[in-house]
Structures are given as C-alpha cells and as structure tokens.
Amino acid sequence: MNGHAIRLILIAALVAVAGCAGGMGGDPGTDSTTDDDAVTDSSDGVGTAAFYVSDEPNVIDDFEHLNVTITKVGFKKAGDGGGGDSDGADEDDTNETDDESTNETADDGESTNEPVEEPDGNESEAEDEEAGGDDDGDASDGGWVEHDVDNRTVDLTELKGANASMIDEFDLPAGDYEKVFIYVSDTEGILADGTETTVKLPSNKLQINSKFTVGNGERVDFVYDIAPHKAGKSGKYILKPVISQSGTGDDVEIRDIDEKTDDESDGDGEGDGSDEAKNGSEAQRDGDKSGQQN
C-alpha cells in the first residue's frame, strides 16, 4: 500500500507541474500583438517632405566649384526597429564624428604632417568597412523609406549659408522621423586657382540624426547641410554632413535659390514685353509721320 500511495503522489505532482507550465505561455503572445497594432496605427496618413541641400560656410571659399551628385535620399521613422543597415548607419555616425574631431586637431596643430596621415588611413579603413556594411541589408527595412533622385548634381559654392536648392518633394508616411541620409555617387572639386582637387567621402552614404515630424496631409521643408572639411596640410578635403545646420524650416533658415531664379526669369520676361511694346509704338509713330508727309 505504501508503494502504491507513493506512485499516486508522484503522478499527481507531475500533472500539477505540467498544468503550471501550460498556463505560463499565453500572455507574451497577447502583448506582442498589442505592440504590432500600436505600430500600425501610428503609420496612418501621408505627408510631404520638400528636401533641400545646403552648405555651411566653412572652407567652401577655397573652391570655384564643388559639384556633388546625389542618387538617393532616405528617412527613418522613429521607434521602428532597425535591421543590419541601421546598425551600420550608427557606426557611420560615430566614424564621421571621430574623423571630424581628429581633422580639427590636425588643423589647429599644424606642427607636423604625421598627424594628418593617420586620419587618412583611418578614413580608408572606415570607408571599406562602411561600404561592406551597406550591402548587408536593405535600408527600406526597419522603418526606412528611400527615394531615388536620378543623379541630381548641385554646386555647393552656390549654396552657402541659408542658400539651398530643392532636390525633390517626397511623399512620406505621416509620423515622427529620427534619421536622414543621402547617397553621393560623385564629387568634382575645382579650387579658386583653377586646379582640380580630391574631395573624399567617409562613405557613399552620409547620414545625420535629426528628429522631425511629418503630419497627415501636411508639408514640411527639410534642409540637409553638407560641407567640405580640410584635412590638415595634406591638401585633401573630406565631405561631411553638418547636423547643426540641418533640420526643418522651423529649426534653420532655408533660402530657396531656385525660387529666386524663377522670379528673376519672370522679371526678364516682363522686361522683354515692355521692350516689344516700346518698339511697336515707335514703329506706329514713324508710320503716322510718313502718312502726314504724303
């Protein structure tokens, strides 16, 4: 009897343990569904972002022309989980910040050429790593929204200070955004003395962390500031984003040079019409004089 009772007790204990384990598995699934619903609700609606490029007055006066060709623009929604691409982008931000501080130190010191060569080597290694990192994932995943801009070329010497050129207008899902990047395919630098110079890129993708909101049915102007930075005495220049001069029209001044050009063109057209009217009046007066003489 004692052995039989022990077996019954063990069986009852196993049944109780199995029941507890089954009751522990339901809640997490419910929580994850709630999170997914919240993410879906936050992405309702569409707004418009007018995207501009500008240039901080840094060493741009060294250039007669600095043409930069942009192929793609991307925006990352705030709070969305990022894949491998966004993680690599965070590394890009760190490398750009480190390189910039190193270059500034080289500019201030200017005692030897050795400190200048070290940043160049680090930048080459960083460029190789970042180029490989960009291929690891698609930036459209994890909340990224990309738009091609068909190799739009801008001359940064015309975009000093608040001057900016609009690249395009993009439809974006309404919501909060936290990162913006541009892909640069080519740079062409002509110095003030007419000589060509190399303008390096820390990566083909230049990225900044900048928070802004696109409202449903609303338009927001966003300017992305990029500028050349001199690498000590090496004679080389590095193109980097400038976060302090980037942001929406509420944060920084945006002066659209394309609108100014359009206004001037309209003014020229009005002037041409006035000249034609003036010439027509003179011809009419000449005709009247001829009739009176006859």
Spatial contact of 123 and 99, defined as CB atoms under 8 Å apart: yes
Number of domains comprising the chain: 1
CB 254 within 8 A of CB 162: yes
- pLDDT tens-place values along the chain, 294 residues long: 566 666 666 666 665 555 544 444 444 343 433 333 333 344 568 888 888 888 777 789 999 999 999 999 999 999 876 544 444 444 344 334 334 433 333 333 333 333 333 344 444 433 333 333 333 334 445 689 999 999 999 999 999 989 999 999 999 999 999 999 999 999 999 999 999 998 999 888 899 999 999 999 999 999 999 999 988 777 789 999 999 899 999 999 999 988 765 555 555 554 444 454 445 445 555 555 454 444
Q: Burial-class residue 91 by CB neighbours within 10 Å (0-12, 13-18, 19+).
A: middle
Asked whether 170 and 51 are in contact (CB, 8 A), the reply is: yes
Strand partners, 178: none
222, part of any domain: yes
The DSSP output letter for 55 is B
288 belongs to a structural domain: no
- In the chain, the amino acid numbered 212 is F
Cα–Cα distance for residue pair 231/283, rounded to 1 Å? 65
Tell me, yes or no, whether 266 lies in a domain: no
Full domain range(s) for residue 143: 44-261
Q: Rounded distance, CA 49 to CA 213, Å?
A: 10
**How many Å apart are CA 291 and CA 239, to the nearest integer?**
71
Nearest CA among 34, 270, 69 for reference residue 156: 69
Establish if 179 belongs to a structural domain: yes
DSSP 253: -
Cα–Cα distance list, 93 to 122, 228, 234 (Å):
14, 16, 24
Q: Is residue 210 part of a domain?
A: yes
Q: Assess if residue 287 is contained within a domain.
A: no
In a domain, 30, yes or no: no
Is 289 inside a domain boundary? no
